[in-house]
Structure 1
């Protein structure tokens, strides 16, 4: 089985700015630089034949490159308790278009439609019941503003779960822009 998701990896200057926010909540499991991304579609566990079909379907996704910007922070709750904190990604017509086309590619190969609302963000930390208060961190990081960047592509990742957390391995990079571009398998050595 392959645990997959499609995402946009931020460039190094954006990663550096995001890493600078990863402190200030006791007991938080902060994401490492290689774990920071904007998820377009979580696919979940699939067998190899479907994983190969997905890789091929995503290679057919055509969308123009576009600009994105991170500004501000927030959190998600489950049963009234915060379970993650994140950096907000500002609304973008280009992102909405890409997200829709990735979703359609997933449905075209038989994956069920994603029912959760798409909330563009970069997860910064996961929180357990023992994590400290998040309000001071949200107040300190609420004005976070990272320079805009140009999104030139997206990546299919495989997630390997372990005791130390998840390891995200890039599998295929998909360029945006010109229609004659081709998907590029990523070397197993990472980025």
Structure 2
């Protein structure tokens, strides 16, 4: 079964700036250029019929073009241990509207909505338990800025998990 997600891919100049912020946390698994994206909805594993239905439903998640930027950094934790560091993307009204439209498309084909509130970000590194401290990295990159860039669409991706990490393939591009 395909493992899917819907995301916005930043342009090369933004990805280059994000790649430049990577490094400095021992043991971190830094993302590569192919993996840099802003998730709108994580779909998960779905059957081929539901994936086909989702492909059609996402066509209705239209939006006018809008600007985004990465501004600052943050991290996720589980049980008091950091699990990832990321570049923050401010939640603008156009982004929130698009994300809600994508979520509605997912619900229309029977997919469960995400239980957690939407927190836009671009993951820069995954942190295993053995990763070094992140405080210095967060302080050094707290003023990170990348963009702005014009968002003119989004993409449905398939994620294939391999021993060396997730590999993403664009399945359908949706242009505004």
Note whether the superposition's TM-score is higher than 0.5. Answer: yes
Match of 1:33 in 2: 33
Q: How does 1:27-176 map to 2 (within 5 A)?
A: 27-176=27-176
| RMSD of aligned Cα (Å) | 0.6
Q: Equivalents in 2 of 1:76, 1:29: separation in Å?
A: 14
SS of the equivalent of 1:133 reads coil
Q: Equivalents in 1 of 2:50, 2:145: separation in Å?
A: 39
SS of the equivalent of 1:146 reads strand
Q: Is the 8 A contact 2:91 2:119 kept in 1?
A: no
Per the normalisation by structure 1, the TM-score is 0.91
Q: Equivalents in 2 of 1:62, 1:168: separation in Å?
A: 23
Q: CA deviation at 1:91?
A: 2.4
Match of 1:184 in 2: none
Query: Gapped runs of 5+ residues in structure 2?
Result: none
Q: Equivalents in 2 of 1:68, 1:105: separation in Å?
A: 22
Match of 2:2 in 1: 2
Q: Equivalents in 1 of 2:8, 2:113: separation in Å?
A: 20
Q: How does 1:6-17 map to 2 (within 5 A)?
A: 6-17=6-17
Q: Equivalents in 2 of 1:119, 1:57: separation in Å?
A: 23
Query: Gapped runs of 5+ residues in structure 1?
Result: 177-191
Structure with the bigger RCO (C-alpha within 8 Å, sep 6+) is 2
Q: Equivalents in 2 of 1:68, 1:34: separation in Å?
A: 19
Q: CA deviation at 1:147?
A: 2.4
Per the normalisation by structure 2, the TM-score is 0.99
Runs of 4+ in structure 1 off by over 3 angstroms are none
Q: CA deviation at 1:60?
A: 1.8
Q: Equivalents in 2 of 1:51, 1:70: separation in Å?
A: 30
In the alignment of these two chains, the number of paired residues is 176
